[in-house]
Amino acid sequence: MKNKKMKIARIECDLSQEQLAEKVGVTRQTIGMIESGNYNPTLNLCIEICKALNKTLNDLFWEG
């Protein structure tokens, strides 16, 4: 399942994958894999991504 919500939120914050990765302490490849649906992030990483993008877990990671 692609994470389009995360990608849209990242773009709205005017952040590249590289910049978001740096903020949350992972590689750019990890962010790319999360967005493409090829990586299932830990809850802690999800929380860090949400903080960096000023979103809630529901905003980015809950389907529906």
Domains along the chain with CATH numbers: 4-61 (1.10.260.40)
Tell me, yes or no, if the pTM score tops 0.85.
yes
Phi and psi at residue 41, to the nearest 5° = -70, 155
Burial of 2 (0-12, 13-18, 19+ CB in 10 A): exposed
Specify the amino acid at residue 34.
I
Residue 52: C-alpha distances to residues 19, 41, 64 (Å): 10, 15, 22
Token look-up 């990483």 returns: 45
d(CA 61, CA 18): 20
* pLDDT string in tens for the chain (64-residue length): 689 999 999 999 999 999 999 999 999 999 999 999 999 999 999 999 999 999 999 999 987 6
